[in-house]
């Protein structure tokens, strides 16, 4: 399947290709997009998304798009948001922008409607990399932190655990992203990721499986 990725860095994209391939249980084919899609600012992410979705749909051979953005300090997506959208929740923001863009897309000969799945690591993608290593990583644990409880990690500590430093080089980030996502797939930990991050990873995995 030809899948495009819209994420924060080439390191994230490297991991996502392996994880999504693990979910689909098939190789991801390269698309003919000339450049990597990398966003700078999550404030503008929902504003950039229509242009990205249009470009991927109309100007590339991609069948699907994965959009992944760290939740950072935004509220964690919970079931309640399905009924009552939370404007500050990153998953709600992205979903709204994507639904609006997809509703305007037109299909044409040889091109079906673009499929889009959203992933929101809580609070950052490093938490996904630590599944099976750090038993605490989960969105529920982070919710406890957001509710004022003292917990054992924050974004910096997650980075230190994954990279050995809070200031990793892009090269190191990419190497570790590939190592950890390969470990997750090879050790069959995708399901654990879905359990510990039901909204930010689980929903993305469900969506991706529906593409088959």
Partner 1 sequence: MITSIHYKNFKALQDATLPLGRFTLIVGANGTGKSTAVKSLEMFKSPARYLWNDIISKSLISNDSLSTVDIESDRFGNAKVQFSQTSHKGSFSGNPNLEKLIIEFRLFSFDSSKISAPVPIQANTILEESGRGLAGVLDQLRDSEPERFEELNAELNRWFYEYDRILFEVPADGQKSFLLRTTVGKHKIKASELSDGTLLALAYLTIAYLPNPPKIVAFEEPEKGIHPRLLRNIQEAMYRLAYPENYGEKREPIQVIATTHSPYLLDLFKDNPEEIVISSKDEKGVHFERLIDKPHIKEILQDAPLGEIWYSGVLGGVPAHI
Question: Could you tell me the smallest distance in angstroms from the CB atom of residue 144 to partner 1?
Answer: 17
In the bound state with partner 1, the residue whose beta carbon lies nearer, of 29 and 72, is 72
Task: Please give the structure tokens belonging to residue 140.
Answer: 């529920």
Residue 32 CB neighbours (<10 A): 10
Residue closer to partner 1, measured from CB, 44 or 104:
44
Q: Is 166 exposed, middle or buried (0-12, 13-18, 19+ CB in 10 A)?
A: exposed
Nearer to partner 1, 119 or 168 (CB): 168
Instruction: In angstroms, give the least distance from the CB of 164 to partner 1.
Output: 8
To partner 1, the closest distance from the beta carbon of 156 in angstroms equals 6
User: Residues 98, 99, 105, 110: is their CA dihedral positive or negative?
Assistant: positive
- What does the radius of gyration of the chain's CA atoms come to, in whole angstroms? 17
State the nearest-atom distance from the C-beta of 111 to partner 1, in Å: 29
User: How many of the other CB atoms lie within 10 Å of CB of 93?
Assistant: 22
Write out the residues near partner 1 by the rule CB under 8 A. 9, 38, 40-44, 72-74, 88, 155-156, 159, 164-171
């Amino acid at each position: 399947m030809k899948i495009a990725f819209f994420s924060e860095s080439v390191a994230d994209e490297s991991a996502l290709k392996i994880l999504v391939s693990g979910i689909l249980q098939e190789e991801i084919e390269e698309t003919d997009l000339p450049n990597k899609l990398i966003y700078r600012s999550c404030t503008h992410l929902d504003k950039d998304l229509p242009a990205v979705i249009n470009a991927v749909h109309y100007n590339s051979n991609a069948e699907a798009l994965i959009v992944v953005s760290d939740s950072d300090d935004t509220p964690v997506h919970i079931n309640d948001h399905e009924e009552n959208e939370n404007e500050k929740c990153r998953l709600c923001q992205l979903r709204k922008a994507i639904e609006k863009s997809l509703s305007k897309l037109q299909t044409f000969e040889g091109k079906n409607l673009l499929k889009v799945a959203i992933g929101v690591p809580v609070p950052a993608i490093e938490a996904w990399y630590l599944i099976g290593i750090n038993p605490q990583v989960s969105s529920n644990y982070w919710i406890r932190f957001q509710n004022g409880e003292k917990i054992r990690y924050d974004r910096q500590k997650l980075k230190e655990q994954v990279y050995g430093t809070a200031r990793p080089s892009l090269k190191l980030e990419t190497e570790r992203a590939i190592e950890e996502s390969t470990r997750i797939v090879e050790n069959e930990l995708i399901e654990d990721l879905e359990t510990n991050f039901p909204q930010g990873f689980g929903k993305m995995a469900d969506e991706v499986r529906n593409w088959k």
